[in-house]
Structure 1
């Protein structure tokens, strides 16, 4: 295996980690409108991800930085061709971060309600658009002989990509609902379990159709195994949720995301962005990569940094592992715990 192959795998791992971790906090953000009945319940939901949401975004920064350094042509074509949807995602993430930090700075009801609404929309929009983006990457886009994207914005809104958006939106919402059952107590926990069932059934149908479509279009035996792991894990998560085994349900919903992302990258390799105009014009791990010397230095840096990041995040989740409920919310308006 050459270094550009190794870095394709590492980038896949970084995106998998991002979707696993950011997936449930996007889901929790969406649940602030779908599940919470009043302000204390919304505060409970926000507090479940309050200590970890910004750390989860480290995986996105790492994935973007690794793509820029390891596959500059992939990065350039991706960010120029997908400029508008990626800009919308970036603005959403900025506003989302501001909303988390500013929501409790003033006690007025309108102030807090507006920031809570911002958290909902800036969780929902990226959750959908990431699926659209990856749907287009896997399906292929209009890339010419100069390895440049020559399509338009509306070319990105094709049925396969829109289905991908539905998959990530429903799957992240399910992942967030299961995380809520794992992190809360009382009535909100019971309602989260019921909501997880409905959302999970929608996600199961969408995942099966989307991954099946990708398998028929570009898959092989390895991607087929990943497909069935994803489907089986999602079914297992639904069963565990109904049995009130929250830990198993969360682990299996996470495995669903891991297997689904792995399946998409398996169908993609050795391409990084297939061309729908001519397969010979596709961006691949070889023609889009940096020099071997650059990849070698990056490998040493990643070998040092990745364990540190994982240990730090593991410690953070361990420290903030306890369940919370409305009884833990202070009476003072806007107080955070």
Structure 2
């Protein structure tokens, strides 16, 4: 086999680790994006309802971004050639993505700093953009990565911006938006109470169908036109079964299992894309000789070994922190139509205090 297409065990392991971190990012940050999209869905319910929607991800969204930061840093260190080539062609898209993510942080931090509906409305618009835009940009980016772009002999991407907006990549963008939106809606139904919970469940029942249709079209298109192995039909089937299972689970109001189903679908889709891409990291659509592979884009074996030792120490910390955070903030958030936890007990205490005061 050509050495360029025959990576070492260590190089293959690092490719799998990069895939794992992006898989984790899409599963975790994906529902953050979906919840933010639902700020638009429930816009007419007012700033209080929108605030309740955002509270469901308030304690966890920044921790979810750690997966992207870690994955990006590992990509830079383990596959510097891949990182450099990626930015040579996707610079504007990735810069826009970075700007949206930065402004999104401001929206989370500043929305409730001023008690003004106008102020909150403005930041809620930013939240909506911060949900839709990253999902769309990630979809378009990955659509181009797995299908291939034009790369010259110096490993510079020569595909134009208009060329990146091809039908396959745009379909990928639509699928990412719909899948994250559905995922976030299941999470919202899992985390709220009252009328908002029922509204989220009904919305999930609507969103699942266009997600299934577009997702099936995208993954099958990728499988038969761009995947380098038939083995990726397995995660394609898993993704399909998971999305179909979400339908009866949603109807039975098994919200935790429905959320697990969309999590499985996202994970299976990520495995399909990375698995079908291997042993390439950026295939060249103009000349296969210019393609970047796991073998020719990686750092030295010594560098990969040292990084593996460091990751062995840090990775359990990231996973443990994530698990701990979700356990601590596992309770539901009450909407404005539901009594706050302990409200009945508090009202009894107030009544008793008033009676005691009047008798005194």
- Confirm or deny: 8 A CA contact 2:139 2:176 kept in the other structure: yes
Unaligned runs of 5+ in 2: 1-7, 342-360
1:232 to 222, 241, 245: 241
Partner of 2:318: 309
Q: Distance in 2 between matches of 1:27 and 1:144?
A: 37
- Confirm or deny: 8 A CA contact 1:30 1:124 kept in the other structure: yes
- Confirm or deny: 8 A CA contact 2:175 2:215 kept in the other structure: yes
Partner of 2:266: 257
- Confirm or deny: 8 A CA contact 1:35 1:191 kept in the other structure: no
- Confirm or deny: 8 A CA contact 1:236 1:252 kept in the other structure: yes
Task: Flag the structure with larger Rg.
Answer: 2
Query: C-alpha offsets along residues 178-212 of structure 1, whole Å, 9 cap, x if unaligned?
Result: 00110011111101011111111111111100000
1:78 to 86, 92, 95: 86
- Confirm or deny: 8 A CA contact 1:18 1:59 kept in the other structure: yes
- Output aligned runs, 1:1-337, within 5 Å: 2-36=9-43, 37-219=45-227, 220-326=229-335, 327=338
Query: C-alpha offsets along residues 79-129 of structure 1, whole Å, 9 cap, x if unaligned?
Result: 121011111110000000001000011111111110111111111100111
SS at match of 1:276: coil
CA shift for structure 1 position 279: 1.1
The 10-residue stretch of structure 1 (29-38 or 187-196) with the greater mean CA deviation from structure 2: 29-38
Q: Distance in 2 between matches of 1:206 and 1:62?
A: 30
Q: Distance in 1 between matches of 2:202 and 2:217?
A: 24
Structure 1: 4+ residue segments shifted above 3 A: 327-330
Q: Distance in 1 between matches of 2:88 and 2:60?
A: 31
Instruction: Using structure 1 for the length normalisation, give the TM-score.
Output: 0.96
Query: C-alpha offsets along residues 212-233 of structure 1, whole Å, 9 cap, x if unaligned?
Result: 0000013332100110101111
CA shift for structure 1 position 40: 1.5
The 10-residue stretch of structure 1 (233-242 or 123-132) with the greater mean CA deviation from structure 2: 233-242
SS at match of 1:272: strand
- Confirm or deny: 8 A CA contact 2:223 2:230 kept in the other structure: no
- Confirm or deny: 8 A CA contact 1:43 1:329 kept in the other structure: no
Q: Distance in 2 between matches of 1:14 and 1:6?
A: 13
CA shift for structure 1 position 328: 6.3
Instruction: Using structure 2 for the length normalisation, give the TM-score.
Output: 0.90
SS at match of 2:281: strand
Query: C-alpha offsets along residues 222-270 of structure 1, whole Å, 9 cap, x if unaligned?
Result: 1001101011111111221111000110111000000000000111000
Over the aligned positions, Cα root-mean-square deviation in angstroms equals 1.2
SS at match of 1:321: coil
CA shift for structure 1 position 24: 0.2
SS at match of 2:115: coil
